[in-house]
Structure 1
Amino acid sequence: MEGTGSLYDWTVIRSILAIIQWWGFNVTVIIMNKWIFQKLEFKFPLTVSCVHFICSAIGAYLVIKVLKLKPLIVVDPEDRWRRIFPMSFIFCINIVLGNISLRYIPVSFMQTIKSFTPATTVFLQWLVWRKYFDWRIWASLVPIVGGILLTSITELSFNVFGFFAALLGCLATSTKTILAESLLHGYKFDSINTVYYMAPLATMILAAPALVLEGSGVVEWFRTHTELVSPLIIIFGSGVLAFCLNFSIFYVIHSTTAVTFNVAGNLKVAVAITFSWLIFRNPISLMNAVGCTVTLVGCTFYGYVRHKLSQQTPGTPRTPRTPRNKVELLPLVNDKLDDKV
């Protein structure tokens, strides 16, 4: 019994440590990206995203091929273009939109809008794939939508471009999640193998637009800044930490339950908002804070409802009727989502 208790204690400690290091990497990457855009005045989100993809591709190669910390999941060459490439395109759009939103709106507002992802996922599956959802799923989305509306209306640093970039980022995340169910069927990717295959393709997709749209601006930035060592360390350091964030997700997924992961994810948003406010001091009104809190509570409630529905016994009907087609048999979304900035 004593051995069992020690094993349980270690499991709890490992879960806590996994969550803390995940929080640390996630919050640090978000803060560093905002610092790059605001303090360093390196206002080039496409270029920053490219740096992240390059660092992630190199990191994934080292982990899988050199250090052999993770086994490589072999993908057929044909599938790399037919199935991996479309996912890489959505993956690229998701990251770019997140960085664009960070350029124009505060971290607190951007993180709150990202919490809208469950609602966009449900809506897309209902609208496009005609998937049926239990009424409790729809009910759990009410506080999320209400909190987002309240936060948007009362946001003191509201920017239309940044707002829509963050909102489109939610749609990209939802699309990536939904497409993964069909495009990656048969491949049980972990976070590192996902980065290994998608980061090089995402770099290839983004390189030309970044060069055309931001190339001259980047050259001008280098020309007007005499001290470059510290800024470049921060820019490339954010890329290294972005890869570490993906690596840390692997340990969180395997060290926690779905419910713990959901709650920890929402608390992580609160931690990111708190630290960003302490560093950047962006103004937050009382009603804005209330809206953010309502959104996070709604996300936690949504995760709880999903978990309860997934725990129903096979003999218990989940819906008032049988699915109309195979699409309705698709899961709503993975219990544990990779959270990449």
Structure 2
Amino acid sequence: MEESISCQWSMFRALLSIVQWWGFNVTVIIMNKWIFQKLDFKFPLSVSCVHFICSALGACIVIKMLKLKPLIEVDPEDRWRRIFPMSFVFCVNIVLGNVSLRYIPVSFMQTIKSFTPATTVILQWLVWRKYFDWRIWASLVPIVGGILLTSVTELSFNIFGFCAALFGCLATSTKTILAESLLHGYKFDSINTVYYMAPFATMILAVPAILLEGTGIVNWFQTHESVFSSLIIIFSSGVLAFFLNFSIFYVIHSTTAVTFNVAGNLKVAVAILVSWMIFRNPISVLNAVGCGVTLIGCTFYGYVRHKLSQQAPGTPRTPQTPRSRMEMTPLVNDKLDDKV
């Protein structure tokens, strides 16, 4: 009886963690698109800066005041030598995501972001000379094919937004690879990651945001009709961006790797559907098919990666793939690209 209750509670907790993760993620994406499109606040650097400030303050409150998470101490020298480079890539990743949201629909941006597993594997193969099982490469075929089909048939295609989203995938992959080498020895969770990286990212972004967008923001304040309510929405998106990080930590610890991967891809589908219902951006049949193929490819990739990670260490290899040159899976979980 107790085992049955415990099992039901675990399932309920896993379901609750997934739902709240979906809720925060989709809400942040939709709010950012709303800010750029409906509020006419077309300043992605400043929006990203607001997110970093809110995330830094939120992490301080959770760790220092509420003490919900213990602080992971980092040597002052390592903060500049290890965390600062990570923060720079972290900053570029979020900014490119917001820039792409300004120019292309949420559905197209989310589909392109699903290209991240492919860029991670390719970068590790090219830069780190890591070798992967043929099934990993095979799982990338539907991802790449779906992205190509979606891009060719996208009715609201914008080359600048497309390039921003694509380079955002590269930034996410670079962050994934750097995390293993730069943060070696530190077991960061989501909150400690934000605690150390968000202040650096704010510092990196503040000057270019002021120089490139300062005049436009002043004009926006002078011409926009509902400044106060718009600012509430902008800062609310920053607060929700922090809670999104907390929700990622919760869902990772409440679900299995396979469930997390499937839920992540279903989350993309939910974001696409909700954004279409709100913004009504045109989507052709072939475009929808491309999105579907990409998501199926991402799910297959996650499944293959999980199966390979579960393979027993003593499993024999083929002569063409000796263990010394074989890398079964990417270095770290590349689904954690939702952090803002």
TMscore range, shorter length: over 0.9
**Residue 80 and residue 329 in structure 1: after superposition, are their counterparts in 2 closer, same or farther (change >3 A)?**
farther
How far, CA to CA, are the matches of 1:146 and 1:39 in structure 2? Answer: 33
- Structure 1 pair 73/329, CA: closer, same or farther in 2 (3 Å)? farther
Cα shift readout 1:109-167 (whole Å, capped 9, x = no counterpart): 00000000000000000011111011000000000000000000000000000000000
CA 1:318–1:137 in structure 2 vs 1: closer, same or farther (change >3 Å)?
farther
The answer on 1:129 being equivalent to 2:128 is yes
The alignment partner of 1:316 has SS state of coil
Deviations 1:281-326 (A, max 9, x none): 000000000000000000000000000101111101467213259x
* Aligned residues of 1:106 and 1:157 also touching (Cα < 8 A): yes
Give 1:321's aligned residue: 322
- What are the equivalent positions in structure 2 for 1:128-277 lying under 5 Å apart? 128-277=127-276
Shift of 1:340: 2.1
Cα deviation, residue 331, structure 1? 4.5
CA distance in 2 between counterparts of 1:13 and 1:79 reads 40
Give the TM-score, by structure 2 length. Answer: 0.97
User: Quick check: 2:173–2:334 contact (8 Å CA) kept in 1?
Assistant: no
| Aligned residues with identical type, % of pairs | 82
Query: What is the rounded CA distance, in whole Å, between the counterparts of 1:334 and 1:285 in structure 2?
Result: 32
Counterpart in 1 of 2:10? 11
Question: Do the aligned residues in 1 keep the contact of 2:36 with 2:102 (CA within 8 Å)?
Answer: yes
1:291 and 1:158 map into 2 onto residues whose CA distance is 14
Structure 2 residue identity aligned to 1:26: N
Letter of the 2:227 counterpart: L
Give the match for residue 336 of structure 2.
337
Deviations 1:246-272, CA, capped at 9 Å, x for gaps: 011110010000100000000000000
In the superposition, the TM-score normalised over structure 1's length comes to: 0.97
Structure 2 distance, partners of 1:191, 1:71, is 12
Amino acid at match of 1:241: L
1:186 partner SS: coil
User: How far did residue 228 of structure 1 move?
Assistant: 1.2
Query: How far has the Cα of 1:339 moved from its partner?
Result: 1.9
Match of 1:69 in 2: 68
**Cα distance change, pair 40–259 in 1 and its aligned pair in 2 (3 A):** same
Checking the alignment, whether the CA contact within 8 Å between 1:246 and 1:338 is kept in structure 2 is no
Partner of 1:49: 48
Structure 2 counterpart of 1:50, one-letter code: C
Deviations 1:50-83 (A, max 9, x none): 0000000000000000000000000000000000
Over 3 Å counting, the alpha-carbon distance change for 1:173 and 1:304 in structure 2 is same
Query: Which deviates more, 167-176 or 329-338?
Result: 329-338
Tell me, what secondary structure is at the counterpart of 2:49? Answer: helix
Deviation digits for residues 198-245 of structure 1, max 9, x if unmatched? 000000000000000000000110011232111001000000000000
Q: Report the counterpart of residue 22 of structure 2 in structure 1.
A: 23
* Residue equivalent to 1:280: 279
Q: Offset at 1:338? A: 4.8
Partners in 1 of 2:335 and 2:129 — Cα distance? 23
Aligned residue identity for 1:321: P
| Residues 1-46 of structure 1 deviation map (CA, whole Å, 9 limit, x = unaligned) | x001100000000000000000000000000000000000000000
Letter in 2 for 1:322: R
Q: What 5-or-longer segments of structure 2 have no aligned partner? A: none
Q: Distance in 2 between matches of 1:82 and 1:32?
A: 35
Q: 1:335 to 1:54 in 2, by over 3 A?
A: closer
Distance in 2 (CA, whole Å) between partners of 1:258 and 1:330 is: 13
Contact 2:305 2:328 in 1 (8 A): no
Partners of 1:331 and 1:103 in 2: how far apart?
31
Query: Where does residue 98 of structure 2 map in the other structure?
Result: 99
Counterpart residue identity of residue 197, structure 2 = M
Equivalent pair of 2:177/2:332 in contact (CA under 8 Å): yes
Q: CA 1:335–1:254 in structure 2 vs 1: closer, same or farther (change >3 Å)?
A: farther
2-side partners of 1:121 and 1:182: how far apart? 15
Give the direction of change, closer, same or farther, for the CA distance of 1:9–1:206 in structure 2 (3 Å limit). same
Structure 1: which amino acid aligns with 2:102? R
AA aligned to 1:323 is S
Give SS of 1:158's match.
coil
Residue of structure 1 equivalent to 2:302: 303
Conserved 8 A contact 2:252-2:260: yes
- Structure 2: how far apart are the matches of 1:329 and 1:133? 5
The amino acid across from 1:166 in the alignment is A
Q: Structure 2: which amino acid aligns with 1:152?
A: S
Residue aligned with 1:323, SS: helix
